[in-house]
Amino acid sequence: MTLTLLCSSLAFLFLLFRFERYHPQRRQRVLFVSFSIEILTWSFLASSLLLCRALLGLYQADGDVTAIRTVFSLAVLASLMVAVPFSALVTFKVPGTMARRLIEGLPSAGERVVGVARQMAEDFRVSVLGVLLSPSGVPFAYTVGGGESVMVVSRGLVGLLDGDEIETVIAHELAHVKNRDASLNTIVAVYRRVLFFDPLIRLLERAICRENEFSADEFAARETKKPLSLASALLKISSAQSGRNASAANFLGLSILGSGRIPRQPNVKERIDRLMRLASEFERDDLVGDTSGWSAVSRASPTSP
């Protein structure tokens, strides 16, 4: 019965996920709930098997119904006591440790990039400990950390993009900080290794990485009102990385182009198409606003004699 309920919940969440096709932030929430259910399911099953074996005598002493209730209650409690602290440890400790190591190993980026990043971080109300510069000639950017994050941009990125493009890339990375994507990607990657036999975990990891990028693109486009600049930046970075070793850009799956270790990432064309759709939406809104303003001026103007 418990497994039936869990499977039904996952099926419902899958339908909800498909329904929210062009709402990446909503899809992110659906995927997070699905991932949490999957982890708790495995934790519950493991706890149940161990308790059934340990409390085998309880079935003979108290009867099947009482024993089942006892084992079920203890299994739920045990699964929460194991899964929740472990998840919290991975989520809050690992990304922070990685961020501190980056601060020790890389210099600060130039004032041109740091100034823009600090101002935007303040506007978005997120905490960034530093903006670091990688000496790599491959253009990339990524963020690492939990509550307080570190952003890394490469020398190749700074030299390749213009001011508006760098601004939108920084906004994209700050969206990852705001959504705590580094922490989520870390915990998903850890559980993928622990539950290596579960294909659903791998599917969820792919979907989470895809929606992270879509959501960050939309956030950056709406906040900067420059979706075409972000589209141009993605195209330039993709062209520059093509055929080159960009492994440094795939750190923790938070490169601006996604993670090379995760198959079926959202391709650049799909992301650019979405950004073009947002640009058209902004143009329509501006046109409607201009028309409304002209109508109001016309109504307020005196009629000619």
Instruction: Round to whole Å and give the CA distance between 113 and 102.
Output: 17
Sequence-ordered list of residues with C-beta below 8 angstroms from that of 149, at least 6 positions apart, any chain: 95, 99, 126, 127, 128, 129, 143, 177, 182
Residue 291 lies in a domain: no
Lowest mean pLDDT among 12-16, 75-79, 108-112: 75-79
For residue 290, the model assigns a pLDDT of 59
Give, in order, the Cα–Cα distances in Å from 40 to each of 30, 32, 82, 164, 213.
16, 12, 9, 44, 26
Residue 196 lies in a domain: yes
Closest to 148 (Cα-Cα) out of 183, 184, 115: 183
Residue 299 lies in a domain: no
- pLDDT higher at 293 or 119: 119
Average pLDDT on 237-263 reads 60
State the pTM of this model: 0.78
Concatenated DSSP letters of 146-166? SSEEEEEEEHHHHHHS-HHHH
For residue 255, the model assigns a pLDDT of 64
What is the number of structural domains in the chain?
Answer: 1
Residue 303 lies in a domain: no
Residue 119's pLDDT band, with cuts at 50, 70 and 90, is: very high
Residue 297 lies in a domain: no
Residue 304 lies in a domain: no
Closest to 188 (Cα-Cα) out of 94, 79, 62: 94
Residue 298 lies in a domain: no
Contact (CB, 8 A) for 248 and 140: yes
74-84 residue pLDDT tens: 556 666 666 66
Residue 273's pLDDT band, with cuts at 50, 70 and 90, is: very high
- pLDDT of residue 230 exceeding 90: yes
Residue 296 lies in a domain: no
Instruction: Supply the range of the domain harboring residue 262.
Output: 2-286
